[in-house]
Structure 1
Amino acid sequence: MRIVEAALRLFGERGFEGASTRDIAKEAGVNAPALQYYFDNKEGVYIACVEHFVARVWEYLAAPVSAAQATLANPDADDSDLIEAYLGLQGCFVSFLSDSPEARDWQLFMARERAGLGPPSAFAVIDERLNRRLFPVTASIIGRLTGRKPTDDVTKIRTIAIDSQVAVFRMFRRNVLSALEWETIGPKEMAQLGDVIFEQTRVLLLAFVAARDAQQGAARD
Protein backbone atom coordinates (compact mmCIF):
# COMPACT_ATOMS: atom_id res chain seq x y z
CA MET A 1 0.00 0.00 0.00
CA ARG A 2 2.83 2.40 0.85
CA ILE A 3 4.41 1.80 -2.55
CA VAL A 4 1.09 2.35 -4.35
CA GLU A 5 0.42 5.60 -2.47
CA ALA A 6 3.92 6.88 -3.28
CA ALA A 7 3.54 5.84 -6.92
CA LEU A 8 0.16 7.62 -7.21
CA ARG A 9 1.76 10.86 -6.05
CA LEU A 10 4.74 10.62 -8.38
CA PHE A 11 2.80 9.40 -11.40
CA GLY A 12 0.36 12.26 -10.83
CA GLU A 13 3.11 14.85 -10.53
CA ARG A 14 5.52 13.56 -13.21
CA GLY A 15 3.50 11.23 -15.42
CA PHE A 16 4.22 7.63 -16.34
CA GLU A 17 7.35 8.48 -18.30
CA GLY A 18 8.68 10.98 -15.78
CA ALA A 19 8.42 8.84 -12.63
CA SER A 20 11.13 6.19 -12.35
CA THR A 21 10.94 3.01 -10.27
CA ARG A 22 13.96 4.27 -8.33
CA ASP A 23 12.12 7.50 -7.46
CA ILE A 24 9.00 5.57 -6.45
CA ALA A 25 11.02 3.21 -4.24
CA LYS A 26 12.74 6.16 -2.57
CA GLU A 27 9.43 7.95 -2.01
CA ALA A 28 7.95 4.79 -0.49
CA GLY A 29 10.99 4.14 1.69
CA VAL A 30 11.85 0.78 0.15
CA ASN A 31 14.70 -0.41 -2.04
CA ALA A 32 14.30 -0.77 -5.79
CA PRO A 33 14.69 -4.59 -5.82
CA ALA A 34 11.76 -4.86 -3.38
CA LEU A 35 9.57 -2.81 -5.71
CA GLN A 36 10.52 -4.99 -8.67
CA TYR A 37 9.88 -8.12 -6.62
CA TYR A 38 6.28 -7.12 -5.87
CA PHE A 39 5.38 -5.38 -9.14
CA ASP A 40 7.89 -6.68 -11.71
CA ASN A 41 8.28 -3.33 -13.51
CA LYS A 42 7.01 0.25 -13.68
CA GLU A 43 3.92 -0.70 -15.65
CA GLY A 44 3.07 -3.22 -12.95
CA VAL A 45 3.25 -0.46 -10.34
CA TYR A 46 1.04 1.77 -12.49
CA ILE A 47 -1.55 -0.97 -12.92
CA ALA A 48 -1.55 -1.49 -9.15
CA CYS A 49 -2.32 2.22 -8.76
CA VAL A 50 -5.23 1.94 -11.19
CA GLU A 51 -6.59 -1.15 -9.44
CA HIS A 52 -6.39 0.64 -6.09
CA PHE A 53 -8.21 3.66 -7.50
CA VAL A 54 -10.95 1.52 -9.05
CA ALA A 55 -11.44 -0.45 -5.83
CA ARG A 56 -11.80 2.73 -3.75
CA VAL A 57 -14.25 4.29 -6.21
CA TRP A 58 -16.35 1.14 -6.25
CA GLU A 59 -16.61 1.22 -2.45
CA TYR A 60 -18.59 4.43 -2.90
CA LEU A 61 -20.54 3.37 -6.00
CA ALA A 62 -21.52 -0.25 -5.35
CA ALA A 63 -24.63 0.52 -3.27
CA PRO A 64 -26.08 3.34 -5.43
CA VAL A 65 -25.37 1.38 -8.62
CA SER A 66 -27.29 -1.58 -7.20
CA ALA A 67 -30.12 0.75 -6.17
CA ALA A 68 -30.22 2.31 -9.64
CA GLN A 69 -30.28 -1.13 -11.27
CA ALA A 70 -33.19 -2.11 -9.02
CA THR A 71 -35.04 1.06 -10.01
CA LEU A 72 -34.49 0.34 -13.71
CA ALA A 73 -35.77 -3.21 -13.23
CA ASN A 74 -38.86 -2.07 -11.32
CA PRO A 75 -41.83 -1.83 -13.74
CA ASP A 76 -43.55 0.60 -11.36
CA ALA A 77 -40.62 3.05 -11.26
CA ASP A 78 -41.54 6.44 -12.69
CA ASP A 79 -39.47 9.35 -13.99
CA SER A 80 -39.07 10.81 -10.51
CA ASP A 81 -37.62 7.51 -9.25
CA LEU A 82 -35.16 7.41 -12.14
CA ILE A 83 -34.06 10.99 -11.52
CA GLU A 84 -33.49 10.28 -7.83
CA ALA A 85 -31.51 7.16 -8.72
CA TYR A 86 -29.27 9.19 -10.99
CA LEU A 87 -28.80 11.93 -8.39
CA GLY A 88 -27.88 9.22 -5.87
CA LEU A 89 -25.04 8.13 -8.15
CA GLN A 90 -23.95 11.71 -8.69
CA GLY A 91 -23.97 12.34 -4.97
CA CYS A 92 -21.56 9.47 -4.44
CA PHE A 93 -19.08 11.05 -6.82
CA VAL A 94 -19.23 14.26 -4.79
CA SER A 95 -18.76 12.31 -1.55
CA PHE A 96 -15.83 10.41 -3.03
CA LEU A 97 -14.03 13.61 -4.02
CA SER A 98 -14.89 15.33 -0.73
CA ASP A 99 -14.20 12.54 1.75
CA SER A 100 -11.17 10.81 0.26
CA PRO A 101 -7.89 12.08 1.74
CA GLU A 102 -6.11 10.86 -1.41
CA ALA A 103 -8.37 12.93 -3.68
CA ARG A 104 -5.67 15.38 -4.77
CA ASP A 105 -3.22 12.60 -5.72
CA TRP A 106 -5.97 10.73 -7.57
CA GLN A 107 -7.03 13.89 -9.34
CA LEU A 108 -3.57 14.43 -10.83
CA PHE A 109 -3.09 10.75 -11.60
CA MET A 110 -6.46 10.36 -13.32
CA ALA A 111 -6.12 13.63 -15.24
CA ARG A 112 -3.05 12.17 -16.94
CA GLU A 113 -4.68 8.77 -17.36
CA ARG A 114 -7.80 10.23 -18.96
CA ALA A 115 -5.59 12.20 -21.32
CA GLY A 116 -4.22 8.88 -22.56
CA LEU A 117 -0.77 9.34 -21.02
CA GLY A 118 -0.65 5.97 -19.27
CA PRO A 119 -0.06 2.50 -20.71
CA PRO A 120 -3.00 0.99 -22.66
CA SER A 121 -3.23 -1.87 -20.16
CA ALA A 122 -4.26 0.64 -17.48
CA PHE A 123 -7.23 1.91 -19.44
CA ALA A 124 -8.33 -1.69 -20.01
CA VAL A 125 -8.58 -2.15 -16.23
CA ILE A 126 -10.58 1.07 -15.75
CA ASP A 127 -12.83 0.30 -18.69
CA GLU A 128 -13.62 -3.25 -17.61
CA ARG A 129 -13.92 -2.78 -13.85
CA LEU A 130 -15.48 0.68 -13.66
CA ASN A 131 -16.71 2.16 -16.94
CA ARG A 132 -18.52 -0.97 -18.16
CA ARG A 133 -20.20 -1.42 -14.78
CA LEU A 134 -21.34 2.18 -14.40
CA PHE A 135 -21.98 3.61 -17.86
CA PRO A 136 -24.73 1.15 -18.91
CA VAL A 137 -26.65 2.11 -15.76
CA THR A 138 -26.43 5.88 -16.24
CA ALA A 139 -27.04 5.56 -19.99
CA SER A 140 -30.14 3.44 -19.32
CA ILE A 141 -31.50 6.10 -16.96
CA ILE A 142 -30.83 8.92 -19.43
CA GLY A 143 -32.31 6.81 -22.23
CA ARG A 144 -35.52 6.18 -20.31
CA LEU A 145 -35.88 9.87 -19.44
CA THR A 146 -35.29 11.02 -23.02
CA GLY A 147 -37.21 8.27 -24.79
CA ARG A 148 -34.13 6.92 -26.56
CA LYS A 149 -32.30 3.63 -26.46
CA PRO A 150 -29.33 3.52 -24.07
CA THR A 151 -27.16 2.38 -26.99
CA ASP A 152 -28.13 5.38 -29.13
CA ASP A 153 -25.18 7.72 -29.87
CA VAL A 154 -27.14 10.76 -28.71
CA THR A 155 -27.90 9.03 -25.40
CA LYS A 156 -24.25 8.10 -24.95
CA ILE A 157 -23.07 11.65 -25.65
CA ARG A 158 -25.61 13.11 -23.22
CA THR A 159 -24.65 10.56 -20.58
CA ILE A 160 -20.94 11.26 -20.90
CA ALA A 161 -21.58 15.00 -20.62
CA ILE A 162 -23.81 14.68 -17.55
CA ASP A 163 -21.66 12.03 -15.85
CA SER A 164 -18.58 14.26 -16.20
CA GLN A 165 -20.02 17.27 -14.38
CA VAL A 166 -18.52 16.46 -10.99
CA ALA A 167 -15.09 15.31 -12.16
CA VAL A 168 -14.48 18.42 -14.24
CA PHE A 169 -14.28 20.56 -11.09
CA ARG A 170 -11.36 18.44 -9.90
CA MET A 171 -9.68 17.94 -13.25
CA PHE A 172 -9.68 21.67 -14.03
CA ARG A 173 -8.86 22.72 -10.49
CA ARG A 174 -6.82 25.81 -11.40
CA ASN A 175 -9.47 27.11 -13.78
CA VAL A 176 -12.15 26.62 -11.13
CA LEU A 177 -10.15 28.34 -8.38
CA SER A 178 -9.40 31.28 -10.66
CA ALA A 179 -12.96 31.68 -11.94
CA LEU A 180 -14.55 31.40 -8.49
CA GLU A 181 -11.74 33.29 -6.72
CA TRP A 182 -11.37 30.47 -4.21
CA GLU A 183 -8.17 29.51 -2.44
CA THR A 184 -8.99 25.81 -2.27
CA ILE A 185 -11.65 23.21 -3.00
CA GLY A 186 -12.30 21.67 0.38
CA PRO A 187 -15.39 20.02 1.89
CA LYS A 188 -17.27 23.34 2.12
CA GLU A 189 -16.56 24.21 -1.50
CA MET A 190 -17.40 20.69 -2.70
CA ALA A 191 -20.72 20.88 -0.82
CA GLN A 192 -21.57 24.11 -2.66
CA LEU A 193 -20.51 22.63 -5.98
CA GLY A 194 -22.60 19.56 -5.23
CA ASP A 195 -25.71 21.61 -4.47
CA VAL A 196 -25.43 23.53 -7.72
CA ILE A 197 -24.66 20.44 -9.80
CA PHE A 198 -27.57 18.48 -8.27
CA GLU A 199 -29.98 21.34 -8.97
CA GLN A 200 -28.67 21.73 -12.52
CA THR A 201 -28.90 17.99 -13.17
CA ARG A 202 -32.44 17.78 -11.83
CA VAL A 203 -33.56 20.70 -14.02
CA LEU A 204 -31.87 19.16 -17.06
CA LEU A 205 -33.39 15.72 -16.52
CA LEU A 206 -36.85 17.19 -15.97
CA ALA A 207 -36.42 19.13 -19.22
CA PHE A 208 -35.55 15.87 -20.99
CA VAL A 209 -38.75 14.32 -19.65
CA ALA A 210 -40.83 17.30 -20.77
CA ALA A 211 -39.29 17.20 -24.25
CA ARG A 212 -39.86 13.45 -24.50
CA ASP A 213 -43.50 13.75 -23.45
CA ALA A 214 -44.09 16.64 -25.85
CA GLN A 215 -42.58 14.68 -28.73
CA GLN A 216 -44.58 11.57 -27.92
CA GLY A 217 -47.75 13.66 -27.62
CA ALA A 218 -47.13 15.26 -31.01
CA ALA A 219 -46.56 11.84 -32.55
CA ARG A 220 -49.92 10.60 -31.22
CA ASP A 221 -51.70 13.65 -32.62
Structure 2
Amino acid sequence: MARHKPAAEGGYQRGEETRARIIDAALRLFGEHGFDGASTRDIAREAGVNAPALQYYFDNKEGVYLACIDHFVEVAWGQLDEVVSAAEAVIARPDATDAALVDSYLQLQARFATFLYECPDTDHWRQFMARERAGLGPPAAFERIDAGINRRLFVLTTAIIGRLTGRPATDETTRIRTIALDSQIAAFKVMRRHVVKALNWEGFGESETERIAKVLQDQTRTLLWGLVAQRDAASSQI
Protein backbone atom coordinates (compact mmCIF):
# COMPACT_ATOMS: atom_id res chain seq x y z
CA MET A 1 0.00 0.00 0.00
CA ALA A 2 1.26 3.47 -0.85
CA ARG A 3 2.56 5.52 2.02
CA HIS A 4 1.30 8.98 2.86
CA LYS A 5 4.19 10.90 4.39
CA PRO A 6 5.31 14.51 4.57
CA ALA A 7 8.48 15.49 2.81
CA ALA A 8 11.70 15.09 4.74
CA GLU A 9 12.38 18.79 4.24
CA GLY A 10 9.85 21.56 4.45
CA GLY A 11 7.36 19.90 6.78
CA TYR A 12 3.95 18.40 6.35
CA GLN A 13 2.43 21.18 4.24
CA ARG A 14 5.21 21.05 1.68
CA GLY A 15 4.94 17.27 1.62
CA GLU A 16 1.20 17.47 0.92
CA GLU A 17 1.78 19.97 -1.87
CA THR A 18 4.37 17.70 -3.47
CA ARG A 19 2.07 14.71 -3.18
CA ALA A 20 -0.82 16.66 -4.76
CA ARG A 21 1.45 17.80 -7.60
CA ILE A 22 2.45 14.20 -8.33
CA ILE A 23 -1.19 13.09 -8.37
CA ASP A 24 -2.13 15.90 -10.76
CA ALA A 25 0.73 15.01 -13.08
CA ALA A 26 -0.20 11.33 -12.91
CA LEU A 27 -3.81 12.06 -13.81
CA ARG A 28 -2.67 13.90 -16.94
CA LEU A 29 -0.28 11.20 -18.07
CA PHE A 30 -2.52 8.25 -17.18
CA GLY A 31 -5.33 10.04 -19.01
CA GLU A 32 -3.22 10.61 -22.11
CA HIS A 33 -1.23 7.37 -22.24
CA GLY A 34 -3.02 4.89 -19.99
CA PHE A 35 -1.63 2.98 -17.05
CA ASP A 36 0.76 0.94 -19.18
CA GLY A 37 1.90 3.87 -21.30
CA ALA A 38 2.77 6.29 -18.49
CA SER A 39 6.04 5.62 -16.69
CA THR A 40 6.99 6.68 -13.18
CA ARG A 41 9.92 8.56 -14.69
CA ASP A 42 7.56 10.56 -16.92
CA ILE A 43 5.20 11.26 -14.00
CA ALA A 44 8.07 12.45 -11.81
CA ARG A 45 9.36 14.70 -14.59
CA GLU A 46 5.87 16.15 -15.20
CA ALA A 47 5.47 16.84 -11.48
CA GLY A 48 8.91 18.44 -11.21
CA VAL A 49 10.26 15.90 -8.72
CA ASN A 50 12.86 13.16 -8.93
CA ALA A 51 11.97 9.48 -9.22
CA PRO A 52 12.94 8.64 -5.62
CA ALA A 53 10.48 11.29 -4.37
CA LEU A 54 7.64 9.55 -6.23
CA GLN A 55 8.63 6.20 -4.76
CA TYR A 56 8.85 7.79 -1.30
CA TYR A 57 5.20 8.83 -1.41
CA PHE A 58 3.63 6.05 -3.47
CA ASP A 59 6.05 3.10 -3.62
CA ASN A 60 5.38 2.38 -7.31
CA LYS A 61 3.23 3.24 -10.34
CA GLU A 62 0.21 1.33 -9.07
CA GLY A 63 0.43 3.24 -5.81
CA VAL A 64 0.28 6.51 -7.74
CA TYR A 65 -2.70 5.28 -9.75
CA LEU A 66 -4.58 4.21 -6.64
CA ALA A 67 -3.87 7.61 -5.08
CA CYS A 68 -5.58 9.17 -8.12
CA ILE A 69 -8.59 6.92 -7.49
CA ASP A 70 -8.62 7.87 -3.80
CA HIS A 71 -8.59 11.54 -4.76
CA PHE A 72 -11.61 10.99 -7.02
CA VAL A 73 -13.46 9.16 -4.23
CA GLU A 74 -12.71 11.98 -1.79
CA VAL A 75 -14.02 14.60 -4.23
CA ALA A 76 -17.13 12.49 -4.87
CA TRP A 77 -18.08 12.18 -1.21
CA GLY A 78 -17.53 15.88 -0.68
CA GLN A 79 -20.45 16.36 -3.08
CA LEU A 80 -22.60 13.32 -2.31
CA ASP A 81 -22.37 12.58 1.41
CA GLU A 82 -25.10 14.94 2.63
CA VAL A 83 -27.80 13.78 0.20
CA VAL A 84 -26.82 10.12 0.55
CA SER A 85 -27.06 10.31 4.35
CA ALA A 86 -30.48 11.98 4.08
CA ALA A 87 -31.75 9.24 1.75
CA GLU A 88 -30.38 6.55 4.07
CA ALA A 89 -32.35 8.13 6.92
CA VAL A 90 -35.53 7.92 4.83
CA ILE A 91 -35.04 4.29 3.82
CA ALA A 92 -34.36 3.39 7.47
CA ARG A 93 -37.95 4.39 8.32
CA PRO A 94 -40.38 1.49 7.81
CA ASP A 95 -43.22 4.01 7.52
CA ALA A 96 -41.56 6.14 4.82
CA THR A 97 -44.14 7.06 2.19
CA ASP A 98 -43.78 6.36 -1.51
CA ALA A 99 -43.56 10.12 -2.04
CA ALA A 100 -40.65 10.39 0.40
CA LEU A 101 -38.85 7.50 -1.31
CA VAL A 102 -39.38 8.95 -4.78
CA ASP A 103 -38.20 12.35 -3.60
CA SER A 104 -35.10 10.83 -2.02
CA TYR A 105 -34.18 9.09 -5.25
CA LEU A 106 -34.71 12.25 -7.28
CA GLN A 107 -32.52 14.24 -4.90
CA LEU A 108 -29.77 11.63 -5.26
CA GLN A 109 -30.03 11.83 -9.03
CA ALA A 110 -29.94 15.64 -9.01
CA ARG A 111 -26.91 15.77 -6.75
CA PHE A 112 -25.10 13.19 -8.86
CA ALA A 113 -25.72 15.32 -11.94
CA THR A 114 -24.27 18.32 -10.10
CA PHE A 115 -21.27 16.25 -9.01
CA LEU A 116 -20.54 15.15 -12.57
CA TYR A 117 -20.49 18.77 -13.67
CA GLU A 118 -18.62 20.23 -10.70
CA CYS A 119 -16.04 17.44 -10.27
CA PRO A 120 -12.71 18.09 -11.99
CA ASP A 121 -13.87 18.55 -15.58
CA THR A 122 -10.68 18.72 -17.56
CA ASP A 123 -9.69 16.54 -20.47
CA HIS A 124 -7.23 14.52 -18.43
CA TRP A 125 -9.86 13.74 -15.74
CA ARG A 126 -12.32 12.60 -18.39
CA GLN A 127 -9.68 10.54 -20.15
CA PHE A 128 -8.47 9.00 -16.90
CA MET A 129 -11.97 7.97 -15.80
CA ALA A 130 -12.89 6.74 -19.30
CA ARG A 131 -9.89 4.42 -19.29
CA GLU A 132 -10.72 3.25 -15.78
CA ARG A 133 -14.35 2.52 -16.71
CA ALA A 134 -13.06 0.51 -19.65
CA GLY A 135 -11.06 -1.65 -17.24
CA LEU A 136 -7.67 -0.43 -18.43
CA GLY A 137 -6.28 0.32 -14.97
CA PRO A 138 -4.77 -2.12 -12.48
CA PRO A 139 -7.30 -4.62 -10.99
CA ALA A 140 -7.05 -3.05 -7.54
CA ALA A 141 -8.43 0.24 -8.90
CA PHE A 142 -11.92 -1.12 -9.58
CA GLU A 143 -12.09 -2.57 -6.09
CA ARG A 144 -11.02 0.79 -4.66
CA ILE A 145 -13.83 2.65 -6.48
CA ASP A 146 -16.34 -0.10 -5.80
CA ALA A 147 -15.60 -0.09 -2.07
CA GLY A 148 -15.24 3.69 -1.91
CA ILE A 149 -18.41 4.72 -3.76
CA ASN A 150 -20.40 2.10 -5.61
CA ARG A 151 -21.35 -0.32 -2.85
CA ARG A 152 -22.88 2.23 -0.51
CA LEU A 153 -24.79 3.93 -3.32
CA PHE A 154 -26.05 0.67 -4.80
CA VAL A 155 -27.25 -0.62 -1.44
CA LEU A 156 -29.19 2.62 -1.04
CA THR A 157 -30.72 2.85 -4.50
CA THR A 158 -31.69 -0.84 -4.66
CA ALA A 159 -33.38 -0.42 -1.29
CA ILE A 160 -35.41 2.53 -2.61
CA ILE A 161 -36.39 0.78 -5.84
CA GLY A 162 -37.20 -2.40 -3.92
CA ARG A 163 -39.56 -0.56 -1.59
CA LEU A 164 -41.27 1.20 -4.51
CA THR A 165 -41.75 -2.04 -6.44
CA GLY A 166 -42.52 -4.33 -3.54
CA ARG A 167 -39.61 -6.60 -4.34
CA PRO A 168 -36.49 -7.41 -2.28
CA ALA A 169 -33.49 -5.16 -2.83
CA THR A 170 -31.48 -8.30 -3.61
CA ASP A 171 -33.91 -9.44 -6.32
CA GLU A 172 -32.33 -9.60 -9.79
CA THR A 173 -35.12 -7.58 -11.39
CA THR A 174 -34.75 -4.90 -8.73
CA ARG A 175 -31.02 -4.70 -9.38
CA ILE A 176 -31.44 -4.50 -13.16
CA ARG A 177 -34.00 -1.71 -12.80
CA THR A 178 -31.74 0.11 -10.37
CA ILE A 179 -28.70 -0.11 -12.62
CA ALA A 180 -30.76 1.21 -15.55
CA LEU A 181 -32.05 4.14 -13.51
CA ASP A 182 -28.75 4.91 -11.78
CA SER A 183 -26.76 4.99 -15.02
CA GLN A 184 -28.86 7.60 -16.83
CA ILE A 185 -26.86 10.65 -15.75
CA ALA A 186 -23.47 8.97 -16.16
CA ALA A 187 -24.38 7.82 -19.67
CA PHE A 188 -24.53 11.42 -20.84
CA LYS A 189 -21.09 12.09 -19.39
CA VAL A 190 -19.53 8.98 -20.89
CA MET A 191 -21.14 9.66 -24.28
CA ARG A 192 -20.15 13.33 -24.16
CA ARG A 193 -19.07 13.68 -27.80
CA HIS A 194 -22.10 11.85 -29.14
CA VAL A 195 -24.44 13.94 -26.99
CA VAL A 196 -22.92 17.24 -28.15
CA LYS A 197 -23.22 16.20 -31.79
CA ALA A 198 -26.68 14.65 -31.53
CA LEU A 199 -28.09 17.74 -29.80
CA ASN A 200 -26.21 20.21 -32.00
CA TRP A 201 -24.56 21.80 -28.98
CA GLU A 202 -21.34 23.76 -29.11
CA GLY A 203 -20.20 22.40 -25.75
CA PHE A 204 -21.27 20.56 -22.61
CA GLY A 205 -21.22 22.88 -19.63
CA GLU A 206 -23.38 23.85 -16.68
CA SER A 207 -26.37 25.00 -18.75
CA GLU A 208 -26.43 21.81 -20.82
CA THR A 209 -26.05 19.68 -17.70
CA GLU A 210 -29.00 21.44 -16.07
CA ARG A 211 -31.19 20.83 -19.12
CA ILE A 212 -30.29 17.14 -19.19
CA ALA A 213 -30.91 16.82 -15.45
CA LYS A 214 -34.35 18.47 -15.75
CA VAL A 215 -35.49 16.06 -18.47
CA LEU A 216 -34.13 13.04 -16.61
CA GLN A 217 -35.76 14.14 -13.37
CA ASP A 218 -39.15 14.33 -15.14
CA GLN A 219 -38.55 10.98 -16.81
CA THR A 220 -37.38 9.29 -13.61
CA ARG A 221 -40.31 10.65 -11.61
CA THR A 222 -42.70 9.21 -14.22
CA LEU A 223 -40.91 5.85 -14.18
CA LEU A 224 -40.85 5.58 -10.38
CA TRP A 225 -44.52 6.40 -9.97
CA GLY A 226 -45.25 3.96 -12.80
CA LEU A 227 -43.47 1.24 -10.82
CA VAL A 228 -45.52 2.14 -7.74
CA ALA A 229 -48.73 1.88 -9.78
CA GLN A 230 -47.61 -1.49 -11.12
CA ARG A 231 -46.89 -2.72 -7.59
CA ASP A 232 -50.28 -1.54 -6.30
CA ALA A 233 -52.12 -3.10 -9.26
CA ALA A 234 -50.44 -6.43 -8.63
CA SER A 235 -51.29 -6.24 -4.90
CA SER A 236 -54.96 -5.57 -5.62
CA GLN A 237 -55.21 -8.76 -7.65
CA ILE A 238 -53.98 -10.98 -4.84
* Residue in structure 2 matched with residue 33 of structure 1 by the alignment: 52
| Among candidates 171, 185, 193, match of residue 190 of structure 2 | 171
Offset of 1:128 from its aligned partner? 1.2
Between 1:135-144 and 1:93-102, the stretch displaced more is 93-102
* Residue in structure 2 matched with residue 83 of structure 1 by the alignment: 102
Q: For the residues of structure 2 that align with 1:108 and 1:187, how far apart are their CA atoms?
A: 19
Equivalences for residues 34-113 of structure 1 within 5 A: 34-102=53-121, 104-113=123-132
Question: Deviations along 1:52-88, whole A, 9 cap, x unmatched?
Answer: 1011101111111111111011233111100110111
Offset of 1:103 from its aligned partner? 5.5
CA contact (8 A) 1:97 1:103 kept: no
* Residue in structure 1 matched with residue 206 of structure 2 by the alignment: 187
Offset of 1:107 from its aligned partner? 2.7
1:146 aligns with 2:168: no
Residue identity matched to 1:8: L
Identity across the alignment (%): 59
**Is there any run of 5+ residues in structure 2 with no aligned partner, and where?**
1-19
1:201 aligns with 2:224: no
Classify 1:41/1:165 alpha carbon distance in 2 versus 1 (closer, same or farther; 3 Å): same
Offset of 1:177 from its aligned partner? 1.1
How many matched pairs? 219
Offset of 1:101 from its aligned partner? 3.7
Per the alignment, in what secondary structure is the counterpart of residue 164 of structure 1?
Answer: helix
Task: Please report the TM-score for the alignment, with normalisation by the length of structure 2.
Answer: 0.88
> Over the residues paired in the alignment, what is the CA RMSD in angstroms?
1.3
Q: For the residues of structure 2 that align with 1:103 and 1:212, how far apart are their CA atoms?
A: 43
Task: Please report the TM-score for the alignment, with normalisation by the length of structure 1.
Answer: 0.94
**Is there any run of 5+ residues in structure 1 with no aligned partner, and where?**
none
Q: For the residues of structure 2 that align with 1:29 and 1:211, how far apart are their CA atoms?
A: 60
Query: Of the two, which has the highest radius of gyration?
Result: 2
Residue identity matched to 2:146: D
Offset of 1:210 from its aligned partner? 0.9
Q: For the residues of structure 2 that align with 1:88 and 1:106, how far apart are their CA atoms?
A: 25
Offset of 1:14 from its aligned partner? 1.7
| Among candidates 126, 131, 136, match of residue 150 of structure 2 | 131
* Residue in structure 2 matched with residue 114 of structure 1 by the alignment: 133
Offset of 1:102 from its aligned partner? 3.8
CA contact (8 A) 1:53 1:106 kept: no
1:213 aligns with 2:232: yes
